[in-house]
Amino acid sequence: MGYRPLGEMITLTAEFLKSPLLTREGFRHAFFTRQGGHSPAPFDSLHFGSAGQRPDDLAANVRLAAETLHVDPARLYTATQVHGKDAIVVHGTEDRNEVLQRRADAVASAAPAVACGIKVADCVPVLVADRASGAVAAIHSGWQGTEANVTAATLAALRSILGAPGDLVAAIGPHIEVCCFEVGDDVAERLRSCAPEADAIDRRRAPRPHVDLRKIVREQLTALGLRADAIDDVGGCTKCDSVRFFSHRRDRENSGRLLAAIAVRSA
């Protein structure tokens, strides 16, 4: 961040992208970029992982995110992600650090003043909200989670809170797009079978197929009952755009983690 005189106060503002659909429905949310935080290079600067930074810097970044979402930092919940399909439900009474130790790839809640978040560095972030109750969920859908349909498992958890199907809307955030998500034939076929109607495999980009995860996740959402106009796309390729996004495929061990999060809305 450069030299500053002793005692000078620096006010940082976290940079983030928003879904017009979720905003219109009154949900506070953010797909945070890598800009506006406290983390040192090469994880500069809004890094939400523990690697490569002091605990104080991570805590400061969490505070910035919580301020953006208008929640207490202790009520911004994330879990330890394992590329599976488990979803956890939080009630706002849990200790944040205890929840962080739990292994899951989605967090859901209907509790007032709670925000649910997930971390990504190429994987697909999905934020889901129920218009009727204000309940929300945040989903981490990497290619393995997409194959396992973590979205279906999360919507089942969310609907268990609601006791009904709900009136759901969703936003799919920035991730590694089809331009950069090159895979082997075996992975391409496994992902094609997840959403055969999505036309998500591009074999024109030689020498290996490229996969459009956004198309697959969108088809999974529609198969779960969401209308096409209830799903928003917040664009951006994490691998292409090194200014705004972290990317594990681009930077490997030097990649930070982005946060996508959404707060429960009062009904």
pLDDT tens, position by position, 5-62: 333 334 578 999 999 999 999 999 999 999 999 999 999 999 999 999 999 999 999 9
Q: Does residue 96 form part of some domain?
A: yes
Residue 248, pLDDT score? 98
- CA dist., res. 64 & res. 113, Å (int): 16
What is the phi-psi region of residue 83: left when phi exceeds 0, alpha when psi lies from -120 to 50, beta otherwise?
A: left
How many degrees, rounded to 5, is the angle at CA 136 between CA 134 and CA 138? 165
Residue 7, pLDDT score? 36
Parallel, antiparallel, or unpaired: how do β-strands 210-211 and 201-202 relate?
A: antiparallel
Which band of pLDDT confidence, cut at 50, 70 and 90, is reported for residue 267?
low
Residue 25, pLDDT score? 98
Q: Does residue 186 form part of some domain?
A: yes
Residue 99, pLDDT score? 98
SS (HEC) of 180-202: CCECCHHHHHHHHHHCCCCCCEE
- Give the residue among 19, 58, 27, 22 at the shortest CA–CA distance from 40: 58
106 vs 7: which has the higher pLDDT: 106
What is the phi-psi region of residue 132: left when phi exceeds 0, alpha when psi lies from -120 to 50, beta otherwise?
A: alpha
The 10s digit of each residue's pLDDT in 240-258 is: 999 999 999 999 999 999 9
The 10s digit of each residue's pLDDT in 184-217 is: 999 999 999 999 999 999 999 879 999 999 999 9
User: The domain that contains 218 carries what CATH number?
Assistant: 3.60.140.10
- For 214, the token pair is 């956004």
DSSP state of 230: G
The 10s digit of each residue's pLDDT in 112-143 is: 999 999 999 999 999 999 999 999 999 999 99
Q: Does residue 136 form part of some domain?
A: yes
Distances in Å between the Cα of 89 and the Cα atoms of 69, 154, 222 are: 19, 9, 23
When divided into structural domains, the chain yields a total of 1
From first CA to last CA, the distance across the chain in angstroms is 41
Q: Does residue 4 form part of some domain?
A: no
Residue 91 lies in domain: 18-263
9 vs 267: which has the higher pLDDT: 267
Q: Does residue 176 form part of some domain?
A: yes
Following DSSP, what letter does each residue of 4-31 receive, concatenated?
--TT--------EE--HHHHHTT--EEE
Q: Does residue 27 form part of some domain?
A: yes
The 10s digit of each residue's pLDDT in 167-182 is: 999 999 999 999 999 9
Q: Does residue 92 form part of some domain?
A: yes
Q: Does residue 6 form part of some domain?
A: no
246: Cβ contacts below 8 Å, ≥ 6 apart = 34, 43, 47, 121, 238, 255, 256, 257, 258
How many degrees, rounded to 5, is the angle at CA 211 between CA 79 and CA 196? 95
